[in-house]
Amino acid sequence: MRILLIEDDPKAAANLRAGLEPEGHQVTVAPDGRDGLLSAAAGGFDVLIIDRMLPLLDGLTLLRTLRGASIHTPALFLTAMGGLDDRLEGLRAGGDDYLVKPFAFEELSARLIALNRRSAAPPKRTKLKIADLELDRLSRTVQRAGRKIELKPKEFELLEYLLLHQGEVVTRTMLLEDVWGFHFVPQTVIVEAHISRLRGKIDHGFVPPLIHTYRGAGYKIDVA
Amino acid sequence: MWRERPSRTLLKTSGFRLALRSLALSLGGAILVFLIIHRDADTIWREQNDIAVQAAMSDLLSDIQEDNQNVAQNVRDTMDEGGGLFFADFAPDGSFRAGNFNVTPAVLASWHGTRNFEREDGLTLPPRVLAVRGVAHRFGNGEVIIIAANASPLLTLNALVARSFAAVFGTILALGLLSGYFSARTASRRVDGYAIAINEIMDGDLTRRLAVGRAGDEFDRLATGLNAMLQRLQELMENLRQVTNDISHDLRSPLARLREHLELSRRRFAGAELTSMFDEALAQIDQALEIFTAMLRIAEVEAGARRRNFADLPISEILDGLAEAYEPAFSAAGIGLTVDVPAGLVLRGDKELLQQMLANLLDNVTLHAGATQARIQAAQVGRRISIEIADNGAGIPAAQRGRVFQRFVRLDASRHLPGHGLGLSLAAAIAALHGGGIELQDNHPGLKAVISLGAK
């Protein structure tokens, strides 16, 4: 993935590059807002990572300018600004995702992959399949190996989200935000408990297991 | 919000009460002036009248003494001389002998000295003469002569004074009430305007100012002063926000670099022992960051600016959503969760914050209560919404229940559990932002958190 990182702190930029490049991404760094805007406008990037507090041009204005010029490269704000209204401001300015520093690399990586895939997503499919599991988004039914599986509404949405991201790791916070609409992390293991229930329904008694746990990172639905 | 609505009762406005007081004063003054005019006019007319009547009586009596004619003849002669006075002569038996007016025996008997009588009292008078004032002279033989003057002008004068008084009184009353009403309405409109502006400021719009008119009156001076204060407050709040942002940024950025560094090092150096060391260090950083985030969030909530984003929220759906999200975790922890929330409850608030408040209280049940049963209840009570989260666990001793809302307070029993002692502080701050509060009660056994929030 070609990533444009707009970040004025050289150490932070170096760390990010060191964290992302081993995962096969090409990282270009823009050290200030104006440089970032010019590079982003020139195109050729799959994803933009934008800090909010930037010299010469702040991140919000930068992205608003890009969106105003019909440049829709997926953008993620990576910023120390974590106030209640800050995320909303970032999304309103045209951001596709918002991650507050400090962050875990697994979290950033999972979100970048999701962003990149979202922009390249095929037209809406009504049936999501993996191995012998099939989810019908219209009739809201699930079956595995021809057997119908009863799911509660949230379990259905959770499975749907995992299937839309099949082969990718989705993190606990991504699930909290996107499936439950929670923009905070509860102390209770909500996601784990739901995954465990879902597993009991779609993996128990079937081969191979489809839901995989990545300790400290999240979950992935995949054949292997 | 618990706020008094601006009162619309006219009598309760100070402007109208002031107007009423000055109106009463003006009316009192008018009454005094009219009383004086009435009394003086009356007195002056009486004095002149009495002098004229007395003089006529003296003349008549001296005539009677000089010419030795009978009284009736003298009365007739004097009457012919004119002078506009009324004369009457009555024989000792009360019969009318001479004169140009007559009185009933009752009036005659009661007429001693100077008296006033009206036509209605039993007087026979020419038309247009309504009353007379005069003296009676009683001779030794019981004969009586009465000389009186026309008192109609006095009545007319009194009626005129009374009419003018009524007119002036009525005009002052009407104008006073009207001007009182208008000045009170103007004043209370301005005060209502201020109240609306102040409510908006309390709701978080710190840029709002009070309207200042061009008159430069006391309201304008008050508004100007308050606006200066609001300007200062806004600047202070902005400074505070700036400082908070700076601290947040300046603390988060190095923490972020440290975290990145630790993660990169964990990747680079293999070995189970090192990995677990890095994991432990990362967990510590995340814990510090959680505390930091929670503190900033509490400060942000307490500043109240969030109120400007309030919307009508379907709180029943939010509660159902939370119950659904928590149910598997409750079940995994061996806690049965019952939900008793009627559909359609609505309140004005911030969804994200209310979710966080409720989640913090539910977290306390799963982490600290040691319960086997929990219950989420909600009900509309008048203009408020009451939400109860109850469990049958260990509970909190009554003496400690207030303390747990304080920041960083963790009860001994839960020190070894995850958490930072800010969850209930944040929950309480969020409830306060929504014009309510959280009360912890004994659930016999267990704990019951009762949240009261302003309804829509």
CATH code of the domain covering residue A14: 3.40.50.2300
Cβ-based neighbours of B427, under 8 Å, separated by 6 or more: B356, B357, B360, B361, B438
How far is Cα A12 from Cα B268, in angstroms, rounded to an integer?
18
Structure tokens at A22: 């081993």
Q: Which of A5, A17, A158, A190 to mutate to test the interface with B (most CBs of B within 10 A)?
A: A190
B68 — pLDDT class (breaks 50, 70, 90): low
Question: Does residue A98 share a domain with residue A141?
Answer: no
Question: Does residue A68 share a domain with residue A135?
Answer: no
Q: What is the pLDDT of residues B150-166, one digit of tens each?
A: 888 878 888 888 888 88
In what side-by-side order are the strands of the sheet with B96-99? B96-99, B86-90, B144-150, B131-138, B113-118
How far is Cα B409 from Cα B414, in angstroms, rounded to an integer?
10
Cβ-based neighbours of B441, under 8 Å, separated by 6 or more: B447, B448, B449, B450
* Shortest CA gap A122–chain B (Å): 30
Question: Does residue A153 share a domain with residue A108?
Answer: no
Give the pLDDT confidence score for residue B192 in this predicted structure. 87
Question: Does residue A155 share a domain with residue A77?
Answer: no
Question: Does residue A133 share a domain with residue A57?
Answer: no
Give the pLDDT confidence score for residue B158 in this predicted structure. 81
Q: What is the pLDDT of residues B322-349, one digit of tens each?
A: 999 999 999 998 999 999 999 989 998 8
φ and ψ at B367, to 5 degrees?
Answer: -90, -35
Give the pLDDT confidence score for residue A179 in this predicted structure. 92
Structure tokens at B146: 């009465």
A180 at B interface, C-beta within 8 A = yes
Q: CA B76, B77, B79 angle in degrees (round to 5)? A: 65
Q: B-chain residues within 8 Å CB-CB of A77?
A: none
Question: Does residue A102 share a domain with residue A139?
Answer: no
pLDDT at B117 over 60: yes
* Domain termination site, one of A119, A144, A166: A119
Across residues B110-130, what is the average pLDDT?
83
Question: Does residue A198 share a domain with residue A115?
Answer: no
DSSP state, B277?
A: H
ipTM of this complex? 0.87
Which residue's entry shows tokens 């999200």? B325
Q: What is the pLDDT of residues A86-128, one digit of tens each?
A: 888 999 999 999 998 888 888 898 999 988 887 666 667 888 8
A104 at B interface, C-beta within 8 A = yes
* Domain termination site, one of A92, A119, A146: A119
Name which of A97, A141, A92 is nearest A117 in CA terms.
Answer: A97
Give the pLDDT confidence score for residue A176 in this predicted structure. 93
B1 — pLDDT class (breaks 50, 70, 90): very low
B378 — pLDDT class (breaks 50, 70, 90): very high
Q: Which residue of B has its CA nearest to A9?
A: B253
Give how many domains chain A has, as a whole number: 2
Give the pLDDT confidence score for residue B417 in this predicted structure. 61
How far is Cα B257 from Cα B253, in angstroms, rounded to an integer?
6
pLDDT at B210 over 70: yes
* Shortest CA gap A80–chain B (Å): 5
Q: Is B127 left (phi over 0), alpha (psi -120 to 50) or beta?
A: beta
Q: What is the pLDDT of residues B406-454, one digit of tens each?
A: 777 776 666 666 666 788 888 988 998 888 888 888 888 888 889 988 8
Question: Does residue A85 share a domain with residue A193?
Answer: no
Question: Does residue A134 share a domain with residue A115?
Answer: no
Name which of A124, A79, A84 is nearest A97 in CA terms.
Answer: A79
Q: Which residue of B has its CA nearest to A99?
A: B256
pLDDT at B17 over 90: no
Residue B344 half-sphere exposure toward CB, CA atoms < 13 A: 0
Q: Which residues pair with B455 in a beta bridge?
A: B347
| Domain span at A153 | 127-221
B76-90 per-residue burial string, b: 16 or more CB within 10 A, e: under 16: bebbeeeeebbbbbb
How far is Cα A152 from Cα B55, in angstroms, rounded to an integer?
121
Q: Which residue of A has its CA nearest to B355?
A: A182
* Shortest CA gap B205–chain A (Å): 14
Q: Which residue of A has its CA nearest to B333?
A: A193
Q: What is the pLDDT of residues B242-267, one digit of tens each?
A: 777 777 777 888 888 888 888 888 88
Question: Does residue A163 share a domain with residue A100?
Answer: no
CATH at residue A217: 1.10.10.10
Does B267 sit within 8 Å of A80, measured CB to CB?
no
